[in-house]
Structures are given as C-alpha cells and as structure tokens.
C-alpha cells in the first residue's frame, strides 16, 4: 500500500526530524547533547525545590556522556561519536540538561557565541523552561538565528493544570503557549515536549494536550512516555503507592491517536524517550525503544492512518 503521508522518504507515516534535516540540508544531521551546568528555578528555590517530580537529578540529560568536560569538548567528543556511525554527519549543538537560558544575558552570550562561530555547528537547539525566557534572551537568539538555525525546546508535558501542579512544574500552561508565540514572532523554531501516562491522566486528556500543541504555531513536538526513575519524588511515590501506567499496547494506541490530531506539517522529533536501565523503576518495556517505534509503524499501516488524518 502506498504511503498516504506526504512528508516521508520511507515507511514512516509521520514527519521525522531525520526527514526534515535531509530535505533542508541534503545530508545526515545529528543533535549532539550537551550539559552546560545550568539549574532550574524550581530546583534552586526561586520557584520551588526538588524540580519536576519525574525529572532525574541530571535534569533530563542522562544521555550526555561527558558531564565533567567543558561544553566545547563535549561537542567535539559527541560529534566524533556520531561520525563513527555516520562518517559524513554534520552536527547541531543540543543544550539538553536543565534550563539552558536560566542566566543573565551576558552569561548566555559567553556560552552560545562560540558555537554560533563554529564551522562544524550547523544549528543550535536550546532546551529550557517557559519561565526562563526573558525578552532580551529571545531577541538575542532571534538575531543569532540569522547565522544558524536556532531551536527553542519547551517542556509542557500536559496542558492540565491539576496534573502539572502535582508534578511541580511551577508555572502555568498558558505561559508555555505565550512563549511559543513570542519565539515564533522572532523567527525562532520551537519544539514542545509532552508526556504520556502522567499520574491519573486519561487517554482523552493526553489527546487534548496534543490537540492544543497542534493548534499553536510551534514547529515540532517530542512525545515521551513517563519513566519512573530512582531518586525522583514520583519514583518514590510510585514505590509507596503504585498508580496505573500505560502498557506498550496502550501507549502505541495513545501515540497514534495523538499523531492523527497533529498538523501534517509538524515535525515529530520523538515518539518515546530514553529510560536509563540502571535508574528505571517502571515501565520496563520502555527500554526497548526500537520495538516501540516498530509497533507504532506497524499499527499505523494496519489502521491505514497517518499524522494529521483528523487534524483541524
């Protein structure tokens, strides 16, 4: 059966980041994860302490291998590792851990300016929180985006305030969408993270979150499954009083329903996250990421469905 989805070079029925990069740059691009030693306002006491209840002590940067190296060295080591797999690969610098705009502008310039000047960096991706994006910071990245493609990644997780209040996000849902619009007005690209299977959310609530993201002007989305990790508040709460988690089959169904309501032109950067085996409490099926992706692909073909099928 012919793939009915227009933004694909293979069997995928959704637009991958790999498709976007290949059509924009005509070659393989890899995002090189970096840790610039930031923190977050709900970790240092400015807003709260302890961070989001699901977040690891490494601030969602567990895949970064060189925590003690300076960021320039991290990039060089990470890019070389990528090029061992894809010899002609070029890199995007991906500032992943914690909130990478949580500092005064003069401090941020010292960090980011050298990356904008590097010939071996094609673009910059900055993961941060909506409450750490001041106007002058957005303006700075807007100007720098004339040199290199620049992405801002914002953690939303869920649009439901009750859920995110319990998760200690410590800012409102509306703030995320306000910052999306401010970034887009300044010609920055925006990716939003959402998370499925947060405590006591229904399938319908998860789909509502995807719909709201689709109705915004953001360019991309990352869909994650909740990983319950050791040394996190949510992980400890789960051990004390387990709550329902999506099975693999349920997760595949939810993700497909979310893809169906997302705009056809939206880039899908992720359909599940990376759970570190040594730290993972549950669910164990998330460790087999390739299987998760394969099950989503197979089920979409079986249903003859695709990204944006029911988008409005």
Distance CA 162, CA 216 (A): 21
CATH T-level fold of 17-303: TIM Barrel (3.20.20)
Residue 207 buriedness (CB in 10 A; 0-12 / 13-18 / 19+): middle
In the predicted model, what is the mean pLDDT of residues 267-282?
88
Exposure string over 220-250, b if 16+ CB within 10 A, otherwise e: bbbbbbbbbbeebebbeebeeeeeebbebee
**Is 80 exceeded by the pLDDT of residue 62?**
no
pLDDT, tens digit, 9 for 90 and up, residues 148-206? 999 999 999 999 999 998 898 989 999 999 999 999 999 999 999 999 999 999 999 99
Task: Give rounded-to-5 percent helix, strand, coil for the chain.
Answer: 40, 20, 45
Alpha carbons within 13 angstroms on the beta-carbon side of residue 21 total 16
* Structure tokens belonging to residue 67: 């925590």
Q: What pLDDT score does 306 carry? A: 97
Q: What pLDDT score does 91 carry? A: 97
Q: What pLDDT score does 214 carry? A: 98
Percent of the chain with pLDDT over 90: 83
Instruction: Record the pTM.
Output: 0.95
Q: What pLDDT score does 277 carry? A: 79
E strand intervals along the chain: 29-34, 90-95, 121-128, 149-157, 189-196, 220-225, 228-229, 267-270, 280-282
Residue 97 buriedness (CB in 10 A; 0-12 / 13-18 / 19+): buried
Q: What pLDDT score does 43 carry? A: 86
Average model confidence (pLDDT) across the chain: 93
* Structure tokens belonging to residue 275: 């759970």
Distance CA 50, CA 39 (A): 11
Q: Residue 225, SS3?
A: strand
Q: Which of 34-38, 206-210, 254-258 has the lowest mean pLDDT?
A: 34-38
CA torsion sign for 8, 287, 60, 96 is: negative
Q: Which of 63-72, 94-103, 301-310 has the lowest mean pLDDT?
A: 63-72
Q: What pLDDT score does 41 carry? A: 87
E strand intervals along 137-209: 149-157, 189-196
Residue 41 buriedness (CB in 10 A; 0-12 / 13-18 / 19+): middle
**Is 80 exceeded by the pLDDT of residue 60?**
no
pLDDT, tens digit, 9 for 90 and up, residues 294-307? 999 999 999 999 99
Q: What pLDDT score does 272 carry? A: 94
């Amino acid at each position: 059966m012919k793939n009915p989805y227009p933004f694909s070079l293979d069997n995928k029925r959704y637009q991958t980041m790999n498709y976007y990069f290949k059509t924009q740059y005509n070659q393989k691009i890899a995002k090189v994860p970096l840790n610039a030693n930031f923190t977050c306002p709900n970790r240092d006491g400015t807003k709260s302490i302890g961070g989001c209840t699901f977040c690891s002590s490494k601030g969602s940067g567990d895949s970064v291998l060189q925590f003690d190296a300076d960021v320039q060295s991290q990039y060089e080591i990470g890019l070389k590792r990528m090029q061992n797999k894809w010899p002609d690969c070029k890199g995007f610098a991906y500032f992943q851990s914690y909130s990478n705009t949580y500092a005064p502008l003069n401090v941020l310039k010292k960090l980011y300016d050298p990356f904008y000047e590097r010939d071996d960096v094609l673009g910059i991706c900055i993961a941060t929180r909506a409450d750490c994006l001041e106007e002058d910071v957005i303006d700075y990245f807007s100007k720098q985006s004339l040199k290199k493609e620049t992405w801002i990644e914002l953690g939303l997780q869920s649009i439901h305030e009750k859920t995110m209040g319990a998760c200690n996000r410590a800012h409102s849902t509306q703030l995320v969408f306000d910052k999306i619009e401010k970034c887009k007005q300044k010609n920055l690209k925006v990716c939003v993270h959402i998370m499925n299977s947060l405590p006591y959310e229904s399938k319908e609530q998860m789909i509502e979150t995807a719909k709201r993201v689709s109705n915004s002007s953001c360019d991309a989305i990352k869909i994650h499954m909740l990983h319950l990790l050791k040394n996190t508040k949510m992980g400890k709460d789960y051990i004390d009083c387990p709550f329902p988690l999506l099975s693999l089959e349920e997760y595949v169904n939810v993700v497909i329903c979310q893809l169906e309501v997302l705009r056809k032109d939206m880039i899908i950067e992720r359909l599940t996250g990376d759970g570190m085996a040594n730290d993972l409490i549950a669910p164990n099926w998330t460790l087999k990421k390739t299987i998760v992706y394969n099950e989503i692909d197979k089920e979409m073909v079986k249903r003859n469905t695709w990204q944006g099928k029911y988008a409005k």
